[in-house]
Amino acid sequence: MPGFLEQLLQGVNSASRIVTSSYVFSTKTILLLKDLATGGSGSRNIPVRLREAFEELGATYIKLGQFIASAPSLFPEEIVTEMQKCLDSVRPLSFSEIQKVLKKELGRNYQNLFQSIDPVPMASASIAQVHSAVTKDGLDVVIKVQRPDIEGALGADLNLLFLASKLFEVFVPGLNKSGLSEMVGMFQSSILEEIDFIKEANNCEEFERYLLSSGETRARVPKIYRELSTKRVLVMEKFYGAPIIDETSLRKFSKDPSKTLSDALEIWFSTLSKSGFFHADVHAGNLMILRDGTVGFIDFGIVGRISSKVWEGLMIFLEGLALNRTDRIASGLVRMDGTAKGVDEKKLAKDLETVFDQMSKMVLDIQMGELDALDERKMNAILFEFRDISDRNGLKIPKEFGLLVKQILYFDRYIKSFAPELDLIRDREKFIR
């Protein structure tokens, strides 16, 4: 009977979630009608009301808002702009709620596993909350605790979103070829990966195995404490240091900031070129300079894996970017698609000229020291233009392509702060051992 009861409970929760979602959206619709009735601009307020509904509904919809913000070619500009405000930072859970999850996951006597757990969170996001702690053996750790019932809510929300996308493609003119349901499917698989902390632990240890096998001592990842971790609780070593782009800390912990950044880049590129595995979310908060001067890679919730063909294509693509040659960029994109047949590379290169000019300008501005040139919205627009042009020319570009290009441009921006003599795209071969 437990199986039946569990399924029944999931069904009730799903139905309840659908009712809640409908109520929130209908409330926002009423507010829009009120805006119109009082002489306000309903069309101008639609993006705001939609973003408010997403934030009120929590994790899935906050992530969806961020996804919309990163997909400017699929959604209206005013909605994309408003969704930039969907921050993955929410009201912290009370410590009593965190304790309930720990009790359920680690056992009734979980307190015996720790000397102390700081009740004040280090960070609170839509999916999980992070607390500092000390194990019973006196080790400093951080505990990443999934929000209660997040998996059930995500399941109901994602199923509803996928069904809605299918219905839109059937009934809304012009959407049947938009790939909307495919994009929702990608969003679904991405967020489901993110809520499985066992997979995150596996990703972290996979990166660590590469570091060990290659004798790499310039970088570290947090040790995972498997005996204290579950799918919903992740306990790992606490790193002491600062974001690698914090100039004061970088110069405090490193005698040669330029070399430290170069080392981080070389390690990331080396892992990618030799194993096809890469950390796909190396923003400033996930790349640290530790007190001993080594580089710390943290948060492996989002990773990527590529084939040798994608790697070869990426190198050709970067060569084209460095040499201002759209023919090489076109060749690189064709190489990435192992199934491509009969693609007219000259036509593809011609179609790419406009978007190539946009990317070249962004890269040049970064290299000239204009660090704000890497605007997330512009970058996403460029990447989706690449995808659309490729689609029209019969190419299927792997989803990892966008992740790779973004990470490379983020690194290029980092090194311009402390190592302006380095040029990642031009000197890419230097970072591949």
Per-domain residue ranges of the chain = 1-88+152-195, 95-150, 197-305, 308-397
In which band, very low, low, confident or very high, does the pLDDT at 163 lie, cut at 50, 70 and 90? confident
Q: What distances in angstroms separate CA 58 from CA 54, 188, 293, one per listed residue?
A: 6, 15, 38
Q: What distances in angstroms separate CA 275 from CA 308, 332, 384, one per listed residue?
A: 9, 20, 27
Q: Give which of 342, 335, 327 is closest to 401, Cα–Cα.
A: 335
Name which residue leads in pLDDT, 34 or 353.
353
Tens-digit pLDDT profile for residues 294-339: 999 999 988 888 888 888 898 898 888 888 899 999 999 999 886 7
Residue range 215-235: mean pLDDT, rounded: 96
Residue 371, pLDDT above cutoff 60? no
Q: What's the CA gap between 265 and 218, in Å, rounded?
A: 11
Give the pair of three-digit tokens for residue 304.
């990527």
CB 284 within 8 A of CB 243: yes
Task: Give residue 181's pLDDT.
Answer: 65
CB 262 within 8 A of CB 387: no
Give the pair of three-digit tokens for residue 219.
């970088």
Task: Give residue 7's pLDDT.
Answer: 41
Q: Give the mean pLDDT of the chain.
A: 79
In which band, very low, low, confident or very high, does the pLDDT at 105 lie, cut at 50, 70 and 90? very high
Q: Give which of 223, 224, 414, 219 is closest to 297, Cα–Cα.
A: 219
Residue 169, pLDDT above cutoff 80? no
Q: What's the CA gap between 147 and 359, in Å, rounded?
A: 39
How far is residue 81 CA from its own chain's centroid? 18
Residue 72, pLDDT above cutoff 80? no
Lowest mean pLDDT among 30-34, 377-381, 414-418: 30-34
Q: What's the CA gap between 261 and 3, in Å, rounded?
A: 52
Task: Give residue 168's pLDDT.
Answer: 62
HSE of 377, CA atoms in CB hemisphere, 13 A: 13
Tens-digit pLDDT profile for residues 191-212: 777 889 999 999 999 999 999 9
Task: Give residue 179's pLDDT.
Answer: 57
pTM for this one? 0.77
Catalytic option among 35, 157, 281, 351: 281
Q: What's the CA gap between 429 and 93, in Å, rounded?
A: 47
Task: Give residue 193's pLDDT.
Answer: 77
> If phi over 0 gives left and psi between -120 and 50 gives alpha, with beta otherwise, what is residue 146?
beta
Task: Give residue 284's pLDDT.
Answer: 65
Counting every residue written for the chain, the total comes to 433
CA angle (105, 106, 111) in 5-degree steps: 130
Q: What's the CA gap between 385 and 190, in Å, rounded?
A: 22
Name which residue leads in pLDDT, 110 or 179.
110
How far is residue 409 CA from its own chain's centroid? 15
Task: Give residue 10's pLDDT.
Answer: 45
How far is residue 239 CA from its own chain's centroid? 21
Catalytic-residue membership of 351: no
Task: Give residue 17's pLDDT.
Answer: 55
